Structure 1
Amino acid sequence: MKKRGKGIGISFYGTGYGNGFPDVSKAKLRLHDNGKIGIYVGATEVGQGAKTALLQIGAEILNLSTENLLFISEDTSLMPDSGTAAASRQTYNTGNAIKIACENFKDKLIEISKEELGLNSTHGLMVEKGEIYLGFFPEKRISFKELVNKYGDGTIEAEGEFIAQTVEMDPETGQGAPYWPYTFNACGVELEVDTLTGRVEILNVRFAQDVGRAVNPRLVEGQMDGGFAMALGYALFEDLNLVKGQIKSNKFSRYLIPTAMDMIDVEKILIEDPEPTAPYGAKGIGEPVMIPVAPAILNAIYDATGVRILELPVTPERLRKAMDTKKNEENFNMELNALKR
């Protein structure tokens, strides 16, 4: 017999290290001999799309296409520290550092161009498409390539630093503002439970995620799919089978993870409410996209079977055992009530 159930999980998540811990990101920009601008930043790419989203933030501020930017993020001898690729902090923290560095770099270019163009003020100077020009008299202009030819490769540069604002929680009262900003989400799941085997099949998923503003919507949707897949494994498949401190599922033939055949097309809803302290309003969502999924699945299982599972993963054996226990308890109570009558 198969029973269907629906469940919802909701969560909120604070960006960054939090609780007053120093959370610093730095970025550096340099003008190179080919007229391209190098963005030097210690934002490690671990599949979350940092190289794409952060590059887009820089391109937007500098009014350049991404093809005219170089993104250097792995060579620690060249780049400043931008903190870890953790705590869903890179888009917000390092994005802000890049934004500040780009603005400082534009100011540097404008100041130098004022002298090169023989102007008495920086007022009206614009930076766009690899050139600095006077907005109300465009004939007065100079290109990035002309500047680097005169000043040399890597000579014109600027830096930016962003420190996230958090407050250490009061150890006595437990009150404070440990994180900023927060992101919010909700996941709804419809599933089917085979009461004979205990197997759970996900039928439909709707997932809404507060992103502040999606710098790259496709990347955000990809993170939502990835987060759902990981949480699906956490909820239904991945069992370390820890016995007296020893991991029994020590190989992938025993430790099951979801495959493409286990995934489902997730209906993704991006909620855009720009965060004023973020670069173009963008929030980090790397870890939050996992959090509401398992609760939604567990609530749907409860809706389908009346069994509240308190241990993960919900393997078929574990669910079948819980359903049998519930049925035995119900039969016992029925017999007990009958005797009382």
Structure 2
Amino acid sequence: MKKRGYGLGCMYYGIGNTGLPNPAGAFVDLLDDGSVNLYIGAADIGQGSNTAIAQLVAEELGVTFEDVRVTSADTALTPDGGATSASRQTYVSGNAALLAAQEAKRVLMAEAAALFAVAEDEIVFRERRVWVKERPDLGETTLTEVIACCRQKGKMTIGHGWFNPDTTGLDDETGEGSPYGTYAFATQIVEVEVDTETGQVEVLHIFAAHDVGRAVNPMQIEGQIEGGSTIGMGLGLCEEVKTREGKVLTPSFATYLIPTALDVPDVHSVIVEEPEATGPFGAKGVGEPSLIPTAAAIANAVYDAVGVRVTELPITPERLLRLLQDQKQNESK
């Protein structure tokens, strides 16, 4: 018999290291043609940090995304970006890159303000054009023209920045402290179908709502939610390191099972934007949060379907069948 159930999982997750120094640096060089060289230490391992951080810099300087050339994770050229872990790179390296862009932009703003004879805070940079807020009568100029004016005066349009989240370590006695600069929040709902004859659990749908601060790149965020949810499925249903007398019995993907494309259900991503005051344009990390609540939601859904509370992962067919058999024996007493 196949039974369906729904389960809920909620989580909050600290972005970055636990009360430890967690810095990242960045360099920005705005060239004569309006293109930008961005140097960051962040290692893009598939999460799209190069893209997201380039978008942040482009937005600040008023250029297009295609104008930004990223050099990342090159120890001969780039400043330290810290580990690509703890869902921290958009928040930490993103802030560093934004500060570097702002330093370069201050040179441009001073020059543009002089050209238009207005205050610097009235200058707008957007789409490679420069104008004065609410003063269409003053016309506009191009970004490259402002850069050219800087060059004629020997002014370099370069910037550097670094960011370290404001945290305090945990007290050894009480555990009190402020270990993270910001937190991610998420709730996920899972629908499963449980075969009571075989113990097989199939995940049919995952509904994942994540507070990401400001969504820099919604498509990438959806990709991270889908990827993290799939990893969470593996944790919940099949991934298990087995050992015997110190020997690993699951050394390959033939024995250590992970979800395949055929196992991945529809993942319905809901991006919740609650801008983070300390994040670059309000953004924060979204890497691990979709992994964390998935297995718990699956376990709760299994309980909803068959009334068995699973307290050990993964929920393999063998493990679930034993629990179902125990349930029948207890009911017959």
TM-score, normalised via structure 1 length: 0.88
Identity of aligned residues (%): 41
Distance 1:271 1:126 in 2: 29
Mark the CA change 1:9 to 1:151 in structure 2 (over 3 Å): closer, same or farther.
same
Answer yes or no: is the 8 Å Cα contact 2:129–2:141 preserved in 1: no
Distance 1:124 1:297 in 2: 53
Answer yes or no: is the 8 Å Cα contact 1:6–1:303 preserved in 2: yes
Which stretches of structure 1, 4 residues or more, deviate above 6 A after TM superposition?
118-121
Secondary structure of residue in 2 paired with 1:22: coil
Partner of residue 276, structure 1: 277
Answer yes or no: is the 8 Å Cα contact 1:101–1:158 preserved in 2: yes
Distance 1:269 1:140 in 2: 40
Answer yes or no: is the 8 Å Cα contact 2:29–2:158 preserved in 1: yes
Distance 1:143 1:293 in 2: 52
1:292, CA displacement in angstroms? 0.5
Partner of residue 81, structure 1: 80
Partner of residue 198, structure 1: 199
Secondary structure of residue in 2 paired with 1:95: helix
Distance 1:120 1:177 in 2: 43
Q: Which amino acid aligns with 1:81?
A: D
Distance 1:280 1:31 in 2: 20
Partner of residue 143, structure 1: 145
1:297, CA displacement in angstroms? 0.3
Mark the CA change 1:11 to 1:149 in structure 2 (over 3 Å): closer, same or farther.
same
1:269, CA displacement in angstroms? 1.1
Answer yes or no: is the 8 Å Cα contact 1:168–1:178 preserved in 2: yes
Moved more, 26-35 or 250-259: 26-35
1:280, CA displacement in angstroms? 1.4
Secondary structure of residue in 2 paired with 1:292: helix
Q: Are 1:17 and 2:4 matched, yes or no?
A: no
Q: Which amino acid aligns with 2:237?
A: L
**Once superposed, what is the RMSD of the aligned Cα atoms?**
2.5
Secondary structure of residue in 1 paired with 2:99: helix
1:1-341 mapped onto 2 (5 Å cutoff): 1-19=1-19, 21-111=20-110, 124-130=122-128, 137-138=138-139, 143=145, 146=148, 150=152, 155-331=156-332, 334=333
Answer yes or no: is the 8 Å Cα contact 1:130–1:143 preserved in 2: no
Distance 1:51 1:266 in 2: 25
1:327, CA displacement in angstroms? 2.0
Distance 2:29 2:305 in 1: 59
Q: Which amino acid aligns with 2:70?
A: F
Mark the CA change 1:114 to 1:247 in structure 2 (over 3 Å): closer, same or farther.
same
Mark the CA change 1:225 to 1:121 in structure 2 (over 3 Å): closer, same or farther.
closer
1:114, CA displacement in angstroms? 6.7
1:309, CA displacement in angstroms? 1.6
Answer yes or no: is the 8 Å Cα contact 1:111–1:122 preserved in 2: yes
Q: Which amino acid aligns with 1:94?
A: S
Residue deviations 1:142-167, cap 9 Å, x none?
62663586589x95311111110111
Distance 1:240 1:163 in 2: 36
Answer yes or no: is the 8 Å Cα contact 1:131–1:143 preserved in 2: no
Distance 2:147 2:101 in 1: 18
Secondary structure of residue in 1 paired with 2:266: coil
Q: Which amino acid aligns with 2:84?
A: A
Distance 1:73 1:193 in 2: 46
Gaps of 5+ in 2: none
1:244, CA displacement in angstroms? 2.8
Which structure has the larger Rg?
1
